[in-house]
Amino acid sequence: MAVCDTCGNDYDKAFTLTYFGEQRTFDSFECAIHLMAPTCAHCGVRILGHGVEAEEALYCCAHCARRAGHDELVDNSTV
């Protein structure tokens, strides 16, 4: 069995993820998200989707990016 890197659970159905060469073991996607998902540079929530990026910072949405001064980012287009 393998031990989860987040919670320490020793689980027979654990899985591994490799991200930028770093391999981690998890017992659930919840634990993987908690440890591996990036956080929004403005509000701090975990980014589970694509998010947006500006000047090497990641944001959960265009609203947070705009609050951080990146007025050019929008969530949708009227075109």
Both 32 and 64 in one domain: the answer is no
The 10 Å CB-count burial string (b at 16+, else e) for 3-17 is ebbbeeeebeebeee
Both 15 and 49 in one domain: the answer is no
Instruction: Give me the pLDDT at residue 74, please.
Output: 82
Per-residue pLDDT of 9-66, as tens digits, reads 999 999 999 988 999 999 999 999 999 999 999 999 999 998 999 999 999 999 999 9
Both 76 and 46 in one domain: the answer is yes
What is the number of structural domains in the chain? 2
Instruction: Give me the pLDDT at residue 1, please.
Output: 83
Structure tokens at 44: 């701090």
Full domain range(s) for residue 17: 1-36
Both 43 and 28 in one domain: the answer is no
Instruction: Give me the pLDDT at residue 76, please.
Output: 76
Both 32 and 42 in one domain: the answer is no
